Amino acid sequence: MPRSDFTENVVELIRDIPRGQVCTYGRIAALAGNPRAARQVARILHTLSESEQLPWHRVVNRDGGISLPPSHGYEEQRQYLEREGVQLSTDGRIDLNHHLWQPDFT
């Protein structure tokens, strides 16, 4: 069950993203321990999003945009987000200054 620590952390981090907020691939990778493993986060989402029931739609690229190509999840992700109250600009981008999730250290 436990995969690598990195993967494990990524999964947990994504699970912790609250409704109405998003996080970037790079951010998650950094928090998980490898600032440069952003691509790995994408792979993890692709392979574990379902089995681990991850809120994959809350993960976007550093521009606040959806990385999935049209008819390959883009529309779906967009709907999930809007349904959670995340507003998308006309360019289809999210205002990260308002929706970016920042884990708090308590």
Partner DNA sequence: CTCGTGACTCCCG
Partner DNA sequence: TCGGGAGCCACGA
User: Which residues sit at the interface with DNA, rule CB under 7 A?
Assistant: 3-4, 6-7, 24-27, 34, 36-43, 45-47, 49, 56-57, 59, 61-63, 67-68, 73, 77
Beta-bridged to residue 88, according to DSSP, are 94
Residue where the block lists tokens 């008819």: 71
- Closest contact distance (angstroms) between CB of 71 and DNA is 13
Q: At what angle do helices 5-16 and 25-32 cross, to 10 degrees?
A: 130
Q: What are phi and psi of 100, to 5 degrees?
A: -65, 125
34 or 84: whose CB is closer to DNA? Answer: 34
Shortest distance in whole angstroms from residue 6 CB to DNA: 5
